[in-house]
A and B are shown apart, each in its own frame.
Chain A
Amino acid sequence: MSYLIFGSSVIGQSHIAMKRGIDDAYGFLQKDDSAILIVADGAGSAKYSKYGAEKIVYSFKYKFENSDYKSCPEKFIIETTEYARNEIEKMASNGLDNIKKEYIKSYKDFASTMIVVLAIGNKWYAGHIGDGASVRSYNNKFDIISPPYESEYVNETVFITSDNYKKFLNITSGDNFNEIYAFTDGIQRGVIDVNNGIQKPFEPFFKYLSNFALSVDNVDEASNNINDMLLNKFSEISDDDKTLVIMVNKGE
């Protein structure tokens, strides 16, 4: 089993205006017949959210490399989410190399959403807290496998640092995929259609992206192409940071 994984993050105009760096983070790894991708989006209003996002990515990569994720993948996602939350709390208590603990008011300063997709063979498992989404492509059909947390208000969502974060952890799973797309809310409005409260992937976009993804043989080049697309095609959609990561199932 093999996978191709590639993607990119770009800083949003609002972050540039606020003289703030990028708060999105992403990562991926492959091992044996498995792969994991992680996308995290730090809250714009939380001072050190970028470190929260990076900690989530690091925690899942670390646990993917060092623990048993195959015997019960759902449990792996739950336990690693707890691990990441604990690591964030520790970071808040102890401070970081470049941030003294006196400057940190609470672990909520590290607020971040998270999307994790774990693939084992042809099976997929998704864990999700907050906004952003992941979409599956299979036999030219597209469905949302982990939808964004719904709130009446555009800027209010839930985070790994929320009081009831375990309640907000949405875990889904299923068989078969050709590609899986995970993305932050910076592009969400442009690629998810909402009709009468029902969310669906915007098909023309995902068909275009699927054709592109299936033709990729150089992941560095593909990541650059994603980077250009995020910069040039989505700046009108949102001034937030934008991240898109794609996992292509190459089969046996």
Chain B
Amino acid sequence: MDKEYIKGERLNPVIRHPTESKCPVVLLLDTSTSMSGGKINSLNSGVNLLINTLKNDEIAHKRVELSIVSFNSVVDVIQDFAVVDDMPVVNLNASGSTSMGEAILKGIDLISKRKAAYKSSGIDYYRPWIWLITDGEPTDYSETMRNNVIKSVHDGENNHNFVFFAVGVEGADMQTLSEISVRAPVKLNGVNFKDMFEWLSKSLSTVSHGKINDQISLSKPGWGTINP
């Protein structure tokens, strides 16, 4: 996909609560046609639940910075990094194809730019998270794109640049997700986005509160099945 298909980035130069260490998270959300109906409604509710839960956490609301990227025929940075207090209600619509490859590369690029902004402002930060949710297979996957995506994610994980999680909704190509993600992708139970985002907010809360071991160790996701 050409860069012209990527919509406005709406980069946020403001870093709120600069004395607080930042925990950057990118949500890459599939909004292709196959997500229509119950799936997209449930996804919207789940994302808004995540935002509201983090808003109520005394520490995480100042430390977690979310960025939301939707992808269908276009990749759209609908929300650049911001603390949850500054985020509007999310209302995604489903249509078009599945530009997953470009979305993943965009997520990695956003992380890289945000880390540079933290460094230039002297702000400490946590290891960033990229969280991919899809119910399909990439429609922008040339051989070159495939190799580029796999290499970028694997290099990023191996160099500890970020942590990448992949979640497949019913219909997702789990084999492709297994290729991309170093960690085993998780198959969501039905459209149980509520439990998944509750788990995500708890995990972010844990990470943003204290030191973690040399390996990222999170509780077992009860909302899905780990794809070996």
Bind each other: yes
Inter-chain CA distance A185–B206, complex, in Å, is 18
**B217 part of interface (Cβ distance < 8 Å):** yes
Are A18 and B209 CB-contacts (below 8 A) given A152-B160, A153-B126? yes
In the complex the two chains form, is A154's CB within 8 Å of B214's CB? no
B37 within 8 A of A: no
Interface size on B, residues (CB 8 A): 19
Q: Is the interface of A mostly helix, strand, loop or mixed?
A: loop
Question: Count the A-B residue pairs with Cβ separation under 8 angstroms: how many?
Answer: 67
Which range holds the interface residue count of chain A? Answer: 20 to 34
B211 within 8 A of partner (CB): yes
Contact B213 A108 (CB under 8 A): yes
Give Cα distance in the complex from A17 to B21, angstroms. Answer: 17
C-alpha gap A60/B21 in the complex (Å):
33
Q: Is the CB of A17 within 8 A of B59?
A: yes
Asked whether A108 and B21 contact (CB < 8 A) given A44-B209, A153-B127, the answer is: no
A156 interfacial contact with B, CB 8 Å: yes
Q: A153-B127, A154-B124, A156-B127 given as contacts; is B213 within 8 A of A45 (CB)?
A: yes
Q: Which residues of B contact A163 (CB under 8 A)?
A: 214
Given the complex, which residues of A lie within 8 Å of B125, measured CB to CB? Answer: 153-154
Set of chain B residues within 8 Å of A154, measured between Cβ atoms = 21, 124-126
By a CB distance below 8 angstroms, the chain A residues around B210 are 14, 18, 43-45, 155, 240
CA A113 – CA B211 in complex, angstroms?
10
Tell me the A128-161 residues at the B interface (CB within 8 Å): 131, 152-159, 161
By the criterion CB–CB under 8 Å, are B212 and A108 in contact?
Answer: no
Q: Within residues 120 to 160 of chain B, which ones have a CB less than 8 A from any CB in chain A?
A: 124-127, 160
Q: Check B59–A156 contact: CB distance below 8 A.
A: no
Residues of chain B contacted by A189 (CB below 8 angstroms): 124
